[in-house]
Amino acid sequence: MFLVCKTGAGAVKASFVADVGGTNIRLAKVIEGQLSDIEKYLCNDFDTISDAIEHYCARHPEAEFVAGCIAIACPVDKDVIKMTNHHWQFSKSQLQQDLGLSWLDVINDYMAISMSLPQLSADQKLQIGGGTAVDNQPIAVFGPGTGLGVGHLVMTSEGWMSLDGEGGHVDFAPVDDMDLVVWQFLRNKYGHASAEEVLSGRGLVQIYQAIAEHQGRFADLTEPADITERALSNRCDLCVLTLQQFCRVMGSFAGNLALNLGTFGGVYIAGGIASRFIDFLMQSDFRSRFEAKGRFAPYVAAIPTYLITEPEHGLIGTAAYLTQHYKG
C-alpha cells in the first residue's frame, strides 16, 4: 500500500497536528514537541480532510510523518467524525490507515484550545478586567466563530486535564429586555434558542435581524463582517446596537462559565470574531455583564477574563496533547 505521508530515505521522523474549524484547517509539523511550518487552507478547497492532510505532507518531503493529532470542531466520541458546521466526515481508523500513520488521535477543538491556555505568555493574551489568575485553579474558554466552542481545564494529580463537552449548545439565557427580543426572534425562527445561535457569526447577523424587526427597520446586511465593519466605523447605529448586544451576551455567557467550575484560573475568549473588535470589546458592557450575577457578583468579580491574541493557540494545544499522549 502507498503511504501518502511517508517519504524516502533520510527523511526526519515527525508528527503533524491539525486545527480544523468550520472555515479553515491549520496544519503544522511537530518534532520533539516544537511546532514549525504552519500553513492554513480553506476547508472548501478540499473534498475531504484526507486531501488537505495529503497536500500538506506533499509540501514537506523532508519529513516522514508517523503520527498525527487532529483537533476538530465537532463531537469526537465515535470512530466516524461528522463536522457540525462543514460537510467533511471521516473514519478515524480508516484515515490513520490511509495516511500510513502508527498513531492518530482526534480531539475536540476546544480540548486543544484549553490545553494551550497554561502555555500562553502575557503577550499572547489580553486581560479584560478581574483580578489575578490563581495557579492550578480551573480555567474556562469559549469562542464565537463559525459556531460556539466551549472548554474547561482542571488540574489533576497527573497534570492538566481538559473536560470535553458541547457547551455552545446550551440554552440562550436572556438577561435584559433586548436579550428577550433576540430570544423571541430565535424561538420563532427555530423553536429553540441556543447560545450558538447568538454567539457566532450567524448569531451576530441574527441579533441584527432581531433588533431591526423589533424596531420596524429594514435589515439589509447578511454578512457578520459587514455588520462589524459598519459598527466600528460608526456608519450604522443598528450595527452599533448589534455589536453592543453581542458583547453583553458574551459577558453573561462567560460569567456563567465562571460560576460552573469556579474558574479562578480565568475565563478566556477564543475564536475568530472577538479579535476583530478588541477596542470595542474593552469599552463595552462585557465585563459588567460578566459580574452581574446577583449575590455572587463579588465571587466572579475576582475572576480574570482574557482575550487570546495568539492566532495559533489551537495548534499549540494540539501539539501539547500529542506530546503528552504519543509515546512513539
Rounded Cα gap, residues 161 and 93, in angstroms: 24
Q: Count other C-beta atoms under 10 Å from residue 238's C-beta.
A: 18
122 assigned to a ligand binding site: no
11 assigned to a ligand binding site: no
**Using only C-alpha atoms, what is the Rg of the chain?**
21
Beta carbons of 238 and 178 less than 8 angstroms apart: no
Nearest to 271 by CA among 244, 311, 232, 327: 311
305 assigned to a ligand binding site: no
143 assigned to a ligand binding site: no
182 assigned to a ligand binding site: no
Rounded Cα gap, residues 203 and 29, in angstroms: 34
Burial tier of 46 (Cβ tally within 10 Å: 0-12, 13-18, 19+): middle
As a whole number of angstroms, the longest Cα–Cα distance in the chain is 69
Q: What are phi and psi of 96, to 5 degrees?
A: -60, -45
Per the listing, cell 483580578 goes with 131
Q: Count other C-beta atoms under 10 Å from residue 327's C-beta.
A: 6
98 assigned to a ligand binding site: no
Rounded Cα gap, residues 94 and 71, in angstroms: 17
Residue type, 107: I
Residue type, 317: G
Rounded Cα gap, residues 98 and 82, in angstroms: 18
Rounded Cα gap, residues 187 and 318, in angstroms: 36
Q: Which residues are annotated as a binding site?
A: 18-23
Q: Which residues are annotated as a binding site for ATP?
A: 18-23
